Amino acid sequence: MMNTSPPRSPRRTASRPSPTLEDLALAAGVSRSTASRAINGGDRVSPEAQAAVERAVGDLGYIPNRAARSLVTRRTSSIALVIPEPDVRVMMDPFFAVVITGITEALRDTDVQLVLLMSRADDDASRTLRYLRGGHVDGAIVVSHHEADSWARSLAQTGLPTIFIGRPWDTASDVTYVDSDNVGGGRLAARHLVGLGRRRLATVAGPADMTAAVDRLRGWTEGLAEAGLPASPVVHGDFTTEGGAAAARRLIAEHPDIDGVFAASDLMALGVIEALQAAGRTVPGDIAVIGYDNHAVAATAPTPLTTITQPMVGMAVRAGRMLLEEIEAPGSHPEPVIYPTELVERASTAVAPTASAANA
Partner DNA sequence: TTGTATGCGTTATCAC
Partner DNA sequence: GTGATAACGCATACAA
Say if residues 245 and 275 touch (Cβ distance below 8 Å).
yes
Given DNA, a copy of itself, none, residue 281, with its beta carbon under 5 to 8 Å by kind, binds none
Q: Which residues contact 42 (CB under 8 A, 6 or more apart)?
A: 50
Given a copy of itself, DNA, none, residue 9, with its beta carbon under 5 to 8 Å by kind, binds none
How far is the C-alpha of 291 from the C-alpha of 192, rounded, in Å? 12
- 21 to 40, contacts with DNA by CB under 7 A? 21-22, 24, 30-34, 36-37, 39-40
Amino acid letter at 127?
Answer: R
**CB of 21 or CB of 118, closer to DNA:** 21
How far is the C-alpha of 138 from the C-alpha of 160, rounded, in Å? 7
Residue 67-96 contact track with DNA, rule CB under 7 A, x = bound: -xx-xxx-----------------------
Say if residues 282 and 355 touch (Cβ distance below 8 Å).
yes
Residue 324 interacts with DNA (CB under 7 A): yes or no = no
- Cα–Cα distances in angstroms (integers) from residue 251 to residues 70, 156, 204, in the given order: 58, 41, 9
How far is the C-alpha of 174 from the C-alpha of 203, rounded, in Å? 32
How far is the C-alpha of 144 from the C-alpha of 210, rounded, in Å? 9
Nearest-CA neighbor of 233 among 243, 214, 248, 246?
Answer: 248
* Nearest distance in Å: CB 26, DNA: 11
Q: Which residues contact 270 (CB under 8 A, 6 or more apart)?
A: 241, 244, 291, 297, 301, 305
* Nearest distance in Å: CB 241, a copy of itself: 7
Residue 58 interacts with DNA (CB under 7 A): yes or no = no
* Nearest distance in Å: CB 159, a copy of itself: 4
How far is the C-alpha of 87 from the C-alpha of 93, rounded, in Å? 10
**CB of 224 or CB of 289, closer to a copy of itself:** 289
* Nearest distance in Å: CB 107, a copy of itself: 9
Binding residues (CB under 8 A) for a copy of itself: these are 11-15, 18, 63-68, 70-71, 74, 76, 78, 81, 86, 88, 91-94, 96-98, 100-101, 104, 108, 113-118, 120, 123, 130-131, 133-136, 158-159, 241, 270, 296-297, 300, 302, 330-331
Secondary structure element (H or E) that encloses residue 269, with its range:
helix 266-278
Given a copy of itself, DNA, none, residue 39, with its beta carbon under 5 to 8 Å by kind, binds DNA
Say if residues 268 and 243 touch (Cβ distance below 8 Å).
yes
How far is the C-alpha of 31 from the C-alpha of 50, rounded, in Å? 12
Q: Which of 2, 6, 9, 17 binds DNA (CB under 7 A)?
A: 17
Q: Which of 65, 113, 126, 332 binds DNA (CB under 7 A)?
A: 65
Q: Which of 27, 45, 178, 193 binds DNA (CB under 7 A)?
A: 45
Given a copy of itself, DNA, none, residue 78, with its beta carbon under 5 to 8 Å by kind, binds a copy of itself
**CB of 64 or CB of 353, closer to a copy of itself:** 64
Q: Tell me how many degrees the CA angle 40-44-49 measures, rounded to the nearest 5.
A: 80
Given DNA, a copy of itself, none, residue 330, with its beta carbon under 5 to 8 Å by kind, binds a copy of itself
How far is the C-alpha of 326 from the C-alpha of 140, rounded, in Å? 11
Name the site residues for DNA (rule: CB under 7 A): 8, 17, 20-22, 24, 30-34, 36-37, 39-40, 44-46, 48-49, 62-65, 68-69, 71-73
